Amino acid sequence: MNQQLWCWGCDIRHHHENLLVAHGARRVPPRVPSDSRSAAYHVALDGGGWLVLWGFGVACVPSPGLSVLLPRYDPTPRTVADTEALRQVWCLQDLPPHEAAGRQLPAWWSALKALRWMAAYEQWVVARAGAEWRRECAARFEASEVTGDQLGRAWTDVCERLAQATMRAALGRREAHANTRRLVS
């Protein structure tokens, strides 16, 4: 996630255009300009719902689904109850209360929706700005884990593994519930 957010920072400063905006994100500047607050980017999701992109993480508000925060430096989604408050966030201190999702399957499904958007966005960036652009962005990132033009594929792989794990967990719970019902009857 850290590398992805770095790349978005490069994308908004692309020499021809703000790539996030060109892809359909809406730039939302802070109501009160300040050095501690930066613009947020709001993204409408196919099928309803929305994302908010910041330098410190991503929020996903799917429709339907559980709203989650994906922090820059923490791989565990955090659930957010006050979703409308997310539209008014420009720095970490603005975030509404949130808590680690743990094993809440709906939170992981919501995270998956955000990660799928990221995978599609990365494929779009390579098509629009070229693989060389993404490689340049990744080369400037000191802790690069994935070559720039492979970010889309990396997110797709993460999505596939997360979808499989979440499905196994959901089926396991369903089977456990069915077994419990049989034992009780």
Report phi then psi at 99, rounded to 5. -140, 155
The token pair that represents 33 in the structure block: 């300009």
Give, in order, the Cα–Cα distances in Å from 47 to each of 44, 86, 97, 115, 168: 9, 19, 26, 15, 25
- pTM, to two decimals: 0.88
Q: For residue range 12-56, what is the model confidence (pLDDT) as tens digits? A: 999 999 999 999 999 999 988 887 888 999 999 998 999 999 999
Q: For residue range 99-123, what is the model confidence (pLDDT) as tens digits? A: 998 878 899 999 999 999 999 999 9
Residue located via tokens 């994100």: 25
